[in-house]
Structure 1
Amino acid sequence: MTGQDLVGQRIKTVRRQRGLSQAQLAHPELSDSYVSLIESGKRTPTPAVLELLADKLDCSLTYLINGVTAEQMKEIELVLSYAQLAMNNGEVSEARTRYAELLADSGLAGLPQLKQDAEYGLALATEACGDLDGAIALLNGLRQNESTPMVPERHVAVAVALSRCYRERGDLSEAVSVAEQILSKATRPAWTDGLVRLGTQLVAAYLDRGDLLRARQFSAEVVAAAELLNTPLSLVVARWNAAIVAVESGQDEAAIAQVEWAVAIQSEYGDPRRLARLRSAYAEVLLAVRPMEAGTWRDVLLKVDTELAESSASTMDKMRCAMSLARVELLLNKPEKATEQMKAVCDMLEGMPQAMQAEARILYGQALAELGRQEQASDELLAGARCLEQSPTTRYTAHAWLTAAQVLERVDEPARSVDAYKRALACVGL
């Protein structure tokens, strides 16, 4: 049944409930034959006629158009706003529940745009909960739904999320394909903030599959596009992306310059949560390229930790900052503090992506090994290895296996250490 048929059916139903004939409803502004045609779905009433009929029937215009009352519409919009707020506050499980409950309600059936908003929100919340398969299914469903076409901005946003999910799951060919379908067309649309974000996802996918040359080339193109747009969002994401490429290329000073540029822009224009996240990433980069200055980066991370705690940052953001702090403490030869940090992180790992669980378990095992707690360290490393076995094969997985091999060697587990080294080599095709 078409939307036009449904409108006619609602008018007919309410008219009968009010005890009116077609002639009574029509008089004096309309003809009874015109009302009959509307009710049978053979005529589409103009907005003015619909408003007139809603007034005559003493019902809301939203009910005639969408099948929901004004009160129901307010309730739906309230639940959507609450779900989005929960998502922004890092309460991803709550957001996922709210979106799912809303979609289970038949009230959204006549509200295709709000239904699409809820489906997109559910996809992002599902991804944030670590369910990449579920998120991918929802995002692909949005792309394939021809009955409710997406506006260009939403189409790009869905592609960004889908490429990211595929990359995190290890499906690098799909991650590249989703982005290239839009960005590699002969008639590529004009650059926007959304397309710059999609471009950074494509660069990340190139990096993950080891295509450093293409990553460099396209990263430069994305930075040029961001400078042309000159918007804070595009400049920040493009500069940060360029920093990652510089780190992978061994261009440490260039990486620091790009990150500092991104932080400066975010400090001027961004919200506190995004600024805290970027500062945490900044400290991670500096820790990688200037480990001898660990004390300085520790001060930065402690400040970031406080900012994240006071903001609506997600649990994952806070955990990543804590893990960076643990690495700093290890560099400063303070394994006790590193162990405290990692114990707190590991207590929150349930539901997180396997790759993150593996990284945390291995780092915890490393801290325990530094304290001489060999048996506990071995247990954590084993747990980390199990997570790695379920993780996608990427350069990050290779690095994690290498770290695990080195720590296993230290805790006198030679056989497992050799196996971990082999797995690290296998991840990079050796």
Structure 2
Amino acid sequence: MDEPAVIGRRVQRLRAERGLTQRQLAEPAYTPAYVSTLESGRVRPSEAALRHLAERLGTSYEELATGRPAQLATELRLGLTDAQQLLATGDADEAAVRYRQLLTEAELHDLLPEQAEALLGLGECALETGELADAIRHFEAAERQQVGEPLPRRARAIRGRAIAHVLAGELRYACYLLESTIDELGTTGLNDPESLVLLYSAIIGPYLDMGAQARAAHAAELALALAPQVSDPALVAGMHRQVARTFLAEGRTADADASLAKAQAVYRQLRLRTDLAHCHWMRGYVYAQDGELALAERELRTARDMLAAKRAMLFTCQVEVELADVLRRLGRHEEAASLLTPLVDPAPELGDHHGAVHAGGAHRLLGLIHEERGELDVAEEHYVTALGLLERSGATGDLADLCRLLGDLLRRAGRTEAALDAYRTGLGYRAAPGTTTLGPAPGPPPRY
């Protein structure tokens, strides 16, 4: 409820607009003197008084008490649902325009829950378009709006911020955010299944990129155990999409494909085009790992076309790295290089702050292509750049293999000591596969 002076001026304005006297407004329950005192701001009206006045003025209690138009919150929530659907099925830039309009309206009327939802939507739009700094800023703002809320209500904002840091190559910090939130949910007794599945699913990717396969598999097990208690089909589908990565890391390609098929069916039913594109992307990766390169190329091209149509440029570039790897393995080196070169030179779409893990992969593939052409100096430059990107991002999962490639190249060039240094570096990564900064992994879900 607004301050008495604000309410008083509002009552006086509405009464004048309707041509009512103070007596006409007051009767039969109140006196003209009471209305006069209220309009001057010298008394805080009770809820009963405001409801009586609202009825006489032909408005709502909420509008009289707060200045908000009747049903505004409901209309904003409907608008947020429409914006979410637009993001899922249409263009992220268009969805962002709608979310900004809704945020402005929610701020104007001080509707904090709707402000938080709009900020979360803007964060998701920024993730899709690759504006990672904007994504982090929006998710942080949503967290501030929800600061007094229980931790499960803040899980989406924390997860969004962590994903932005993953895409920026800041894997250790992303794991810190997710692990600490999971641990806090456990220690405070707020073991909300949906929040835990959301967080466990989000942490699988960075664990695998860091080479922490055991932790990724454990997180997948915990998410699968909680899935029957989750009512949101899109959330369960996203969990299956991430769990597929752990199956693939264990060599269980049939299980990985089955998980992706489950996710794909849900995304088709819900018309979630970005998520569906990610399923095609992941299935392409599964086929590539299984040696079915023609099928892999088909799935990856489908994913790239879907993401490009939605102008999700960061994800489009990342799929092109995967597609280039398949083309290289098919012996189509020129096609592969034509996809990779724009991503790294002269104005990279991927880089230290926009998909560092995939940028490292792009340089690694270019190194392989140039090495196969006999251009060893250029190949070495790409390998060294890839090493720098992956080391800074904490993506140690592929560093041992990259050190082996560099060592082999240096050895063939007769640079034995440099080759030994590269091999020793690779052995260091091999000896300590993917740990995070926190020590023990998140615990198992509670018993219900």
**TM-score in same-fold range (> 0.5):** yes
Alpha-carbon distance between aligned partners in 2 of 1:94 and 1:267, rounded to the nearest angstrom:
21
Give per-residue Cα distances to partners, 1:294-343, cap 9 Å, x unaligned.
22322333344444455x36223322332222111111111011112223
Give the structure 2 partner of residue 14 of structure 1.
13
Matched, 1:322 2:320: yes
Decide whether the 8 Å contact of 1:176 with 1:206 is kept in 2.
no
Change (3 A) 1:130 1:79: same
Give per-residue Cα distances to partners, 1:317-372, cap 9 Å, x unaligned.
32233222211111111101111222354464377233333333433443344445
Decide whether the 8 Å contact of 1:162 with 1:175 is kept in 2.
no
Alpha-carbon distance between aligned partners in 2 of 1:413 and 1:112, rounded to the nearest angstrom:
66
Give the structure 1 partner of residue 395 of structure 2.
394
1:282-297 correspondence runs (5 A) = 282-288=283-289, 290-291=290-291, 293-297=292-296
Give per-residue Cα distances to partners, 1:246-291, cap 9 Å, x unaligned.
2333444443443344445545665444223202111112312x13
Give the structure 2 partner of residue 191 of structure 1.
193
Gaps of 5+ in 2: 433-448
Q: Report the AA paired with residue 184 of structure 2.
A: Q
1:206-245 correspondence runs (5 A) = 207=208, 212-227=213-228, 229=230, 232-245=233-246
Root-mean-square deviation (CA, aligned residues, Å) is 4.7
Matched, 1:300 2:303: no
Greater RCO between the two (CA within 8 Å, min separation 6)? 2
Decide whether the 8 Å contact of 2:124 with 2:135 is kept in 1.
yes
- Structure 1 residue 28: Cα displacement: 5.5
Give the structure 1 partner of residue 114 of structure 2.
114
1:1-400 correspondence runs (5 A) = 3-5=2-4, 8=7, 10-11=9-10, 14=13, 23=23, 25-27=25-27, 30-35=30-35, 36-37=37-38, 39-40=41-42, 42-45=44-47, 48-49=51-52, 51-52=54-55, 54-55=57-58, 64=64, 66-67=66-67, 87-88=87-88, 108-128=108-128, 130=130, 135-136=135-136, 138-145=138-145, 149=149, 154-165=153-164, 167=166, 169-170=170-171, 171=173, 172-182=175-185, 184-185=186-187, 187-189=189-191, 191-192=193-194, 194-204=195-205, 207=208, 212-227=213-228, 229=230, 232-264=233-265, 266=267, 271-288=272-289, 290-291=290-291, 293-310=292-309, 312=310, 314-346=312-344, 348-349=349-350, 352-372=354-374, 377=379, 380-381=382-383, 384=386, 387-388=389-390, 391-396=392-397, 398=399
Gaps of 5+ in 1: none
What's the TM-score, normalizing by structure 1? Answer: 0.73
Change (3 A) 1:348 1:203: closer
Q: Report the AA paired with residue 359 of structure 2.
A: Q
Decide whether the 8 Å contact of 1:283 with 1:297 is kept in 2.
yes
Change (3 A) 1:95 1:245: same
Change (3 A) 1:409 1:329: farther
Decide whether the 8 Å contact of 1:23 with 1:31 is kept in 2.
yes
Q: Report the AA paired with residue 113 of structure 1.
A: P
Change (3 A) 1:249 1:87: same
Change (3 A) 1:353 1:239: closer
Task: After superposing the two structures, state which structure 1 stretch, 316-325 or 248-257, moved more.
Answer: 248-257
Decide whether the 8 Å contact of 2:4 with 2:45 is kept in 1.
no
Alpha-carbon distance between aligned partners in 2 of 1:34 and 1:407, rounded to the nearest angstrom:
91
Decide whether the 8 Å contact of 1:80 with 1:99 is kept in 2.
yes
Decide whether the 8 Å contact of 1:163 with 1:178 is kept in 2.
no
Alpha-carbon distance between aligned partners in 2 of 1:354 and 1:6, rounded to the nearest angstrom:
56
Give the structure 1 partner of residue 443 of structure 2.
none
Percent identity at matched positions? 21
Give per-residue Cα distances to partners, 1:91-119, cap 9 Å, x unaligned.
55676677568757895252323322222
Give per-residue Cα distances to partners, 1:109-168, cap 9 Å, x unaligned.
52323322222223334444556566445534433446874795x433224324434555
Change (3 A) 1:201 1:146: closer
Alpha-carbon distance between aligned partners in 2 of 1:385 and 1:234, rounded to the nearest angstrom:
34
Alpha-carbon distance between aligned partners in 1 of 2:38 and 2:401, rounded to the nearest angstrom:
69
Q: Report the AA paired with residue 258 of structure 1.
A: S
Change (3 A) 1:160 1:400: farther
Change (3 A) 1:375 1:166: closer
Q: Report the AA paired with residue 120 of structure 1.
A: L
Give per-residue Cα distances to partners, 1:162-195, cap 9 Å, x unaligned.
443455522123321112322x347454534x54
Decide whether the 8 Å contact of 2:383 with 2:406 is kept in 1.
no
Q: Report the AA paired with residue 180 of structure 1.
A: D
> Secondary structure at the residue paired with 1:333?
coil
Alpha-carbon distance between aligned partners in 1 of 2:423 and 2:2, rounded to the nearest angstrom:
61
Paired residues, what number? 419
